[in-house]
Amino acid sequence: MQADQDQPALRHVLVSGGAGFIGSAFARNFVRDHPEARVTVLDKLTYAGNTQNLAPVWDEPRFRFVQADICDYDAVAPLVVEADTVVNFAAESHVDRSIMDPDVFVRTNVLGVNTLLRAARDGWKAGGYAGKRFLQVSTDEVYGHVGEGATAEDAPLAPRNPYSASKAGAELMVFSYGTNFGLPVVVTRGENTIGPYQYPEKATPLFITNAIEDKPLPIYGQGRAVRHYVYVDDHAAAIDLVLRRGAPGEAYNIGNDVEVNTVRLAETILDLLGKPRSLMQLVPDRPGHDYRYNLDYRKTLALGWQPQYADFEKTIGATVAWYRDNQDWWRTIKAGEYQEYYKKQYAVLAGA
Ligand code: NAD
Ligand code: DAU
């Protein structure tokens, strides 16, 4: 029986960037929640990729890992053809690194996405696009700084840093493959996500691990920038849902309603770990800092998304507990390449 054009078959899902933070959560949960499906993770294993993040599913017969670069057409094309669904998490993902060196962001986030799209368009064409899906994981940062109110999916894209500009470029390529070639594409735009296995360059794992090590927590500017913190399993569940129920050609916001500024984030972490607030240290602001994002995510709720961590205290509590209980994971990372980046980014900090 041929699959309905509007329903992805989900027999074999290719998860690109699946050794990173959110992609690995999606892959672990997808293997658990879809016992009939095969999952291939494709990942270049940049500094941010880590096969340990996939340990819970590594020995599962329906799971496979392939090391490859999404910019390498010859490597990715056979993997795409075997699958009926691509969920693309692969990206350079850290805003501060994009300000230091934008080039690799354009390469992976724009050219790499185009390579994956081309592989899907050409590889799936002979069998038709029915039952196929290409889901691009994007970010609320594509809307740019939002002074007041909330952005729904039809708001204009106005990215302001090299990371978000490259992610917006990727989205435009994705939608263009839907419009011009009929590829069934869908995009999710998530808010700031936290939880287990997040590389400790991002504010939350950086603050938690520094606090455990009694090191300063670097707060940009006056620490008044606000974010909404979504638990990683909620983000992964929303992507799974959009994959199954989202309409091709559409974007879906993934967020929550709790605004938290950087000082509150740092104070909550210090309190949970019983560390002094004197560990907070103001440092020069991020250039072009987006002080606020705020998503209207009712379209995703309407699909049936039911986040389990709508409460910030629960979200940060679970996150702090994981880093406290899994110190081998992040201490190994912090002993490596990380140190060079940290010294460069936080030169103003004593002991950086
Ligand atoms: P991450 O940096 O933890 O993981 C990215 C993964 O992509 C790594 O495993 C890395 O090895 C891989 N990768 C990088 N370049 C690659 C290439 N050229 N070929 C193949 N693999 C490559 O990122 P994350 O935080 O898990 O984010 C995943 C996706 O979600 C990204 O697209 C990001 O833009 C988006 N997103 C992240 C957040 C967040 O708060 N972390 C929020 C919304 C959206
Ligand atoms: O909003 C979604 C985005 O969230 C994702 O698309 C990105 O991939 C992800 O990295 C994240 O971007 P942010 O820039 O919001 O996250 P970050 O953890 O870097 O910063 C969160 C806030 O904390 C932000 O206002 C900057 C501030 N900050 C960050 C760092 C690293 C500090 O004050 N000090 C720091 O050292």
205-231 pLDDT, tens digit each: 999 999 999 999 999 999 999 999 999
In-domain check, residue 44:
yes
Higher-pLDDT residue of 122, 3: 122
In-domain check, residue 114:
yes
In-domain check, residue 106:
yes
Relative to the CA of 139, which ligand 2 atom is closest?
6
Q: Give the number of domains in the chain.
A: 1
pLDDT of res. 256: 97
The C-alpha atoms of residue 29 and residue 109 are separated, in whole angstroms, by: 24
In-domain check, residue 39:
yes
In-domain check, residue 297:
no
- What does R_g of the chain's alpha carbons equal in angstroms? 20
Question: Dihedral of CA 128/130/135/140: which sign?
Answer: positive
Relative to the CA of 291, which ligand 2 atom is closest?
25
Tell me the average pLDDT of the chain: 96
Q: Which token pair is 40?
A: 């291939």
Query: From the CB of 115, is ligand 1 less than 6 Å away?
Result: no
Residue 348: nearest ligand to its CA? 2
Question: H helices within the chain, ranges in order?
Answer: 21-33, 73-82, 95-100, 103-106, 113-125, 162-181, 203-212, 232-245, 262-273, 298-302, 312-325, 327-334, 338-345
User: What are 261-288's pLDDT values in tens digits?
Assistant: 999 999 999 999 999 999 999 999 999 9
- From 69, 96, 140, 290, the catalytic residue: 140
- Find the CATH number of the domain harbouring 182: 3.40.50.720
DSSP string, 145-205: ---SS-B-TTSPP---SHHHHHHHHHHHHHHHHHHHH---EEEEEE--EESTT--TTSHHH
| Residue 235, pLDDT above cutoff 60 | yes
CA 110 to ligand 1 center in whole angstroms: 13
Q: Cβ of 296: how many Cβ atoms within 10 Å?
A: 16
- From 141, 191, 233, 240, the catalytic residue: 141
User: What are 165-211's pLDDT values in tens digits?
Assistant: 999 999 999 999 999 999 999 999 999 999 999 999 999 999 999 99
- Residue whose CA lies nearest to ligand 2 atom number 20: 203
pLDDT of res. 160: 97
For the segment 294-300, the average pLDDT, to the nearest whole number, is 98
The tokens 């880590």 sit on which residue? 50
What amino acid occupies position 80? V
For the full predicted model, state whether its pTM sits above 0.85. Answer: yes
In-domain check, residue 241:
yes
- Residue whose CA lies nearest to ligand 1 atom number 44: 139
In-domain check, residue 170:
yes
CA 19 to ligand 1 center in whole angstroms: 9
Is residue 163 annotated as a catalytic residue, yes or no? yes
Query: From the CB of 220, is ligand 2 less than 6 Å away?
Result: yes
Share of the chain above pLDDT 70, in %: 97
The C-alpha atoms of residue 57 and residue 40 are separated, in whole angstroms, by: 11
Q: What domain range includes position 59?
A: 12-194+231-254
Is residue 141 annotated as a catalytic residue, yes or no? yes
- From 43, 92, 143, 163, the catalytic residue: 163
